[in-house]
Structure 1
Amino acid sequence: MLKGYKYRLHPTATQAEFLIKTIGCTRFIYNKLLEDRIAIHEEAMASGGPRRKPPTPASYKPLFPFLCEADSLALANAKLHLDTAFAKFFAGTAGFPVFKSKRKARASYTTNNQHGTIRIEEDRVRLPKVGFIRFTQHRGFDGKIRSATVSMTKTGKFFVSLLIEQADEPWVPAEHKVGIDLGLEHFATTTNDDLVTEKIANPRNLRQAEARLKQAQRALARKKPGSKNREKARILLAKKHEKVRNRRHDFLHKLSRRIVDENQVVVVETLKPREMMKDRRLAKSIGDAGWGEFVRQLEYKCKFYGRTLIKADPWFASTQVCSACGENDGKKDLQTREWTCAACGTHHDRDVNASLNLLRLAD
């Protein structure tokens, strides 16, 4: 089993400069390889002949000497990431690969552990071509380091994510089950096998910080482009966005871990947030909730701790079917929060009824 551990890095000024250069080199290689692949495809289509072999990252070094300063494994991983992007495109699970922007793309690079080039000694972690960097190891691990991904936030903070190879956790037999219905009024409504229902409030982190974000964005817009004050205003705005993201992830991590700790079988509905966000009235609230990230966390934490996760089919009518008699009363709009079954007369809370129907999928 592979598991990631993320830690905060505290590089010196020289080390930070090298990390930024390596991130830039990997982004450059990714864009150059993508550009060449597009050109090779267009040439083959025009000539009708066989396609020439795409270049490798090493073939660019004579043309661009600055690439020699970067970690060669980081450049090789950029090519692997592009290969993965094309594989997903041809499989129909993702769109066509796009060029990485310096301003918008995630600033990161990945390097592999070859013959102990990545290792931890006391409060420092060693990375290839960088050496030992001081870091905060807030939790330990047992296993072999496979690779390391170095990332930089918009506020200039550095993190390293170590991919660790560990033994698989034993499967845990089912003792407690829970059904989880996701929503906006309440982030989640859960019902366990003892029929105990809990409604978890939606923190609405973005909505609460909206006024402060708007003020910071206006302050940034008034600054002169290229000035030091504009850079200060940009960092201030990035810090506010980072705070919103950290609060959201903190809430999702604590909730998902509590659910996995308390239950051995977890049933959650499968939503399609991207399609749901096409409704402009709900798009911001749906994005703020983070349903997709919550389900992703449940999925890998269930795998790590030997639990069973059941994803309900997107077309499963959890809100339409009566949990008492099984009668389907038809589709109900979002404004209908309570309803009475026409067949058996049972009065339902919409979210509680949905969580009960999801819970039954665990049987």
Structure 2
Amino acid sequence: MGKVVKRAYKYRCYPTPEQAGQLNRTFGCVRKVYNLALDARTRAWAVDRQRSTYVQSSAWLTEWKRTEELAFLNEVSSVPLQQTLRHLQAGFAAFWDKRSRYPRFKAKRKSRASAEYTRSAFRWRDGQLTLAKMDAPLTVVWSRPLPSGAQPSTVTVSRDAAGRWFVSLLVDDPTVEPLPPLSTAVGMDAGITSLLTLSTGEKITNPRHERADRRKLAKAQRDLSRKGKDSANRAKARLVVARIHARIADRRRDHLHKLSTRLVRENQTVVIEDLSVRNMLRNHSLARAISDAAWTQLRSMIEYKAAWYGRTVIAVDRWHPSTKTCSACGRINTAMTLGVRAWTCPGCDAVHDRDVNAARNILAAGLAER
């Protein structure tokens, strides 16, 4: 029997004004504690060269709550405050392992507004969710059922820039099982004209979700720029812009989920390029199109779904000359320029579509590494 997968189920929720006020206070306290702990840990290292731990930051939290200035921290559940200290510890661990950069401070208008509750801070009974410090359960729209008998281990409540509320329940999902093994493998070449080109010759169209709403978004941003700072009209205009961005992101996420699920279900091995998207975004001519394509998000979805369903993902080195190498004879065409979409191999006279040829070379390189 395979390992049980932990899976998060996300739903829209509609808190009452009292519940929304309590959650907003919790978000503010979570952000405040995170920033205080980050500042204290940074100063401890800068002054005393001491590497602080989660245990020390938890002791600091107890001291902060006793001060008059930070007494408001006692008004919210202590569990989300402890959880944000654990998240900070994870951020430092990733920094020490050179997997990410140094943790940054959370800003009120830029950071994600969220709070995480563990089992001691919520009640799950008869399909109703009640959080700590609340008298009534949250109104949740159960758009899809949870696995039978599921008991959430963690609940995360969040609010996005468009003012929408969400609740995410982490459960053990026994319905996620390895799929029957296949003999098929596919290589993928990421692009802008076509979102993906497969080694089978199939080209998956780039929906260009941002372009569909570009005119509407530009008008909303112009309206926002004309509003007075900190005015009520500016807050309304900002919400209009945020809703357009949310609609674009929702469509993009839905498309990537469907595409990644299909690729993982139809192939035993998926070979991709190990692209440095962050560096590619420095190209100001292509930054908008690359961001809209969301290659990093697609790769993340493919990797975790492959782990769920017993598939293999292989990342080929980004410097592999997949575009200029002939997939038939292996000769490298050094004379080929970037704008060429189709070319003929000078060695074997094979005619190649540039993207299909690259996908086939990526597949061959990935299978050779296995």
Q: Fold conserved (TM > 0.5)?
A: yes
RMSD: 2.2
Which of 131, 139, 154 is matched with 1:134 structurally? Answer: 139
TM-score (norm: length of structure 1): 0.91
> Partner of 2:284: helix, strand, or coil?
coil
Q: Sort the Cα spacing of 1:145 and 1:362 in 2 relative to 1 into closer, same or farther, 3 A.
A: farther
Count of paired positions: 354
Determine the C-alpha separation between the residues in 1 that align with 2:273 and 2:172.
Answer: 30
1:336 positional shift:
1.8
1:146 aligns to 2:150 (yes or no): no
Structure 2 unaligned spans of 5+:
none
Secondary structure in 2 aligned to 1:319?
coil
Match of 1:353 among 330, 352, 357: 357
| Aligned residue in 1 for 2:168 | 161
Name the residue aligned to 1:85: 91
Residues 20-39 of structure 1: pairs in structure 2 closer than 5 A = 20-39=24-43
Equivalence map 1:275-294=2 (5 Å): 275-294=279-298
Rounded Cα–Cα distance in structure 2 between residues aligned with 1:187 and 1:100: 33
C-alpha contact (below 8 Å) 2:343/2:354 kept by paired residues: yes
Deviation at 1:50, TM superposition (A): 9.8
- Distance in 1 (CA, whole Å) between partners of 2:60 and 2:154 is 21
Measure the CA separation in 2 of the matches of 1:7 and 1:233.
Answer: 26
Give the counterpart letter for 1:299 in structure 2.
E
Is residue 311 of structure 2 the alignment partner of residue 307 of structure 1? yes
Shift of 1:210: 2.0
- How far apart are residue 242 of structure 1 and its match? 1.0
TM-score (norm 2): 0.89
Structure-2 separation of matches of 1:44 and 1:317:
49
Question: Aligned AA for 2:235?
Answer: E
Asked whether 1:228 is paired with 2:232, we answer yes
Shift, 1:272, TM fit:
1.0
Deviations, residues 223-251 of structure 1 (Å, cap 9, x unaligned): 22232222111111111111111111111
Pair 19,328 (structure 1): closer, same or farther in 2 beyond 3 Å: same
Moved more, 89-98 or 127-136: 127-136
| In structure 2, C-alpha distance between the alignment counterparts of 1:50 and 1:157, rounded to whole Å | 39
Counterpart selection for 1:186 from 190, 194, 200: 194
Q: One-letter code of the match for 1:210?
A: R
Residue in structure 1 matching 2:129, options 114, 125, 136: 125
**CA 1:247/1:170 → structure 2, altered by over 3 Å: closer, same or farther?**
closer
Structure 1 residues without counterparts, runs of 5 or longer = none
Task: Tell me how far 1:317 sits from its aligned partner.
Answer: 2.3
Residue 102 (str. 1) matches residue 122 (str. 2): no
Distance 2:52 2:348 in 1: 67
